[in-house]
């Protein structure tokens, strides 16, 4: 069983909470985590890169000169890839970069990442994180008290003011319990959760 401290906004421990061993004490599978990160990054690529082939280049289709008798190499089109201004052979075209990954493997990957954070002592649980209005300076102060300036902040649903408060912090990302993924967990140094968000995460993954 793994217990972690529960902190208030001042970074003072106010108790302990037990982490679900089914989620935070799994065998760490590095190859699967690596594959999950590749899948995530590939899915973010838009795939809109493209060059013109010889059939798409504007210009005449007339043969530049007759086939024989000129002493020059035979050419059928000025749009062929050999010529300046011609099309590109085997260039990039619009396509999807998505990579498929089985749901069970994605689950193994995210559980491995969470278990890695727990093993490294990089999980911080907050008693609460409610704001009457978005306050970036206050959020920065709280995270500094927790020594978690580079953090993935997992919030409960509809905690809009807290999410907006962290929106302008370049080294902080916010996500709901259902949006936690391997890439985000591994990308940040600390995993910061509210007690309510932790309960939601354990319900989603449990």
Q: How far apart are CA 189 and CA 192, in angstroms?
A: 10
CB 85 within 8 A of CB 57: yes
User: Residues 6 or more apart from 194 whose CB is under 8 A from it?
Assistant: 125, 126, 127, 128, 129, 154, 155, 156, 159
12-24: average pLDDT: 91
**pLDDT tens-place string over residues 28-43:** 999 999 999 999 999 9
pLDDT at position 162, please? 93
**Predicted model pTM:** 0.83
Q: Is residue 206 pLDDT above 90, yes or no? A: no
**pLDDT tens-place string over residues 127-175:** 988 899 999 999 999 999 999 999 999 999 888 999 999 999 999 999 9
Query: Dihedral (C-alpha) 163, 169, 172, 174: value to the nearest 10 degrees?
Result: 10
Please state the φ and ψ torsions of residue 146, each to the nearest 5 degrees: -90, 0
E strand or H helix at 44, and its extent? none
CA separation, residue 58 to residues 36, 79, 85 (Å): 42, 8, 10
CB 131 within 8 A of CB 174: no
76-82: average pLDDT: 94
User: Of 94, 96, 109, 102, which is closest to residue 43 (Cα–Cα)?
Assistant: 96
């Amino acid at each position: 069983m793994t217990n972690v401290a529960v902190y208030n906004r001042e970074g003072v421990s106010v108790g302990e909470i037990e982490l679900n061993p089914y989620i935070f004490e799994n065998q760490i599978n590095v190859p699967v985590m690596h594959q999950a990160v590749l899948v995530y990054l590939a899915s973010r690529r838009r795939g809109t890169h493209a060059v013109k082939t010889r059939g798409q280049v504007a210009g005449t289709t007339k043969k530049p000169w007759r086939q024989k008798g000129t002493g020059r190499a035979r050419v059928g089109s000025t749009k062929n890839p050999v010529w300046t201004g011609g099309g590109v052979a085997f260039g990039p075209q619009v396509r999807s970069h998505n990579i498929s990954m089985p749901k069970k493997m994605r689950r193994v990957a995210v559980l491995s990442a969470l278990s890695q954070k727990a093993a490294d002592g990089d999980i911080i649980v907050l008693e609460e994180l409610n704001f009457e209005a978005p306050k970036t300076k206050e959020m920065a102060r709280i995270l500094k008290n927790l020594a978690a300036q580079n953090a993935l902040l997992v919030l409960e649903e509809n905690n809009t003011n807290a999410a907006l408060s962290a929106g302008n912090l370049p080294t902080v990302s916010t996500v709901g319990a259902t949006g936690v993924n391997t890439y985000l967990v591994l990308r940040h140094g600390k995993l910061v959760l509210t007690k309510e968000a932790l309960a939601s995460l354990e319900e989603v993954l449990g």
